[in-house]
Amino acid sequence: MLEVESVDKAYGRGDNEVVALSGVSLTVGDGEFAALVGPSGCGKTTLLNLIAGLDDVDAGRILVDGASAPAEERLKRFGYMPQQDMLFPWRTVLANVSLGLEVQGMNRADARARAAEMFPQFGLGGFEHRRPHELSGGMRQRASFLRTYLLGRPFLLLDEPFGALDAITRGQLQAWLAETWNRIGGSALLVTHDPHEAVALSDRVYVMSPRPGRITNVLEVDLPRPRTVRAAETEAAHRLIDVLRHETESVGVDS
Ligand code: ADP
Ligand code: MG
């Protein structure tokens, strides 16, 4: 379980100070999928970086399973999929995907064998020895997700993972993510611009205001589990999506 308590974060000093987050609190329980929506520049990536342990909070606390967890510990707890896919262009897809395991200390041959086993399940079979530029946008996102998945962290932080994809690919990947993550029983915090995506995938949606980022509303998504993207086509879901659209329009989310 993740608890973010009254977190503040600013960059720079004096006249150059940018207050990115102010008093941000949120909770994601075990096996829960939460979404965070908010306008560009409101501090969503800042918040994920803090949770992942890549940066320190100025004030407030981040707790894991009820205990205050220092940044070094959080680095090992969360699977972080950053906004950019971060695949190295000169490495093969297999070498990219297995890199995290090698960094964790697994020898190269074992890391590649472990990664290669998962390629078919991630829709990447046959592309092991290609370079990232030879893959479609959706395949690159799946490769990035596979690299994160292989680290074996049951809690995912996803920063607008589908933002750069066309609508059809996005829908397919959303369905695939919902199915994969439901099956694993993992937890996730997903940053998204898309109210439909937030309702389709998550149990709870946190709405954030423009800078300084604050949580302005929390919407419980009480739709049946296991959640699929089709769950967002029901009438109850449409009512929630409308509420969320209204909510995000009032804080200025560009969708
Ligand atoms: P979002 O992901 O919601 O678009 P970010 O978390 O990237 O927003 O940024 C929040 C604010 O903090 C922005 O105004 C951004 O310019 C600023 N910011 C982010 N990272 C840094 C940094 N390393 N140094 C200075 N300012 C930063
Ligand atoms: Mg961002």
Q: What is the dihedral of CA 177, 179, 182, 183, to 10 degrees?
A: -120
For the CA of 38, the closest atom of ligand 1 is 3
Mutate to test the pocket of ligand 1, among 40, 42, 46 (most ligand atoms within 8 A of CB): 46
Residues (pLDDT < 50) of the chain are 255
158 Cα to the center of ligand 1, angstroms: 17
Residue 193 is encoded by which pair of tokens? 């611009």
Are 137 and 190 in contact by the 8 Å Cβ rule? The answer is no
Residue with tokens 């990219």: 96
Ligand sitting nearest the alpha carbon of 158 = 2
Mutate to test the pocket of ligand 1, among 7, 18, 80, 157 (most ligand atoms within 8 A of CB): 18
Does any ligand 1 atom lie closer than 6 A to the CB of residue 18? yes
For the CA of 42, the closest atom of ligand 1 is 3
Does any ligand 1 atom lie closer than 6 A to the CB of residue 42? yes
- The whole-number pLDDT of residue 254 equals 56
pTM of the entire predicted model:
0.89
92 Cα to the center of ligand 2, angstroms: 27
Ligand sitting nearest the alpha carbon of 82 = 2
Q: Beginning with the edge strand found earlier in the chain, give each strand of the sheet holding 18-28 in spatial order.
A: 18-28, 2-11, 59-64, 67-68
Mutate to test the pocket of ligand 1, among 11, 56, 191 (most ligand atoms within 8 A of CB): 11
Are 10 and 17 in contact by the 8 Å Cβ rule? The answer is yes
Select from 36, 65, 31, 3 the least CA-distant residue to 225.
Answer: 31
Give the Å distances, CA to CA, from 50 to 12, 75, 158, 220, 241: 16, 10, 13, 24, 28
Does any ligand 1 atom lie closer than 6 A to the CB of residue 37? no
Are 124 and 87 in contact by the 8 Å Cβ rule? The answer is no
- The whole-number pLDDT of residue 255 equals 47
Residue 23 is encoded by which pair of tokens? 């008093």
Cα atoms in the 13 Å half-sphere on the side-chain side of 195: 21
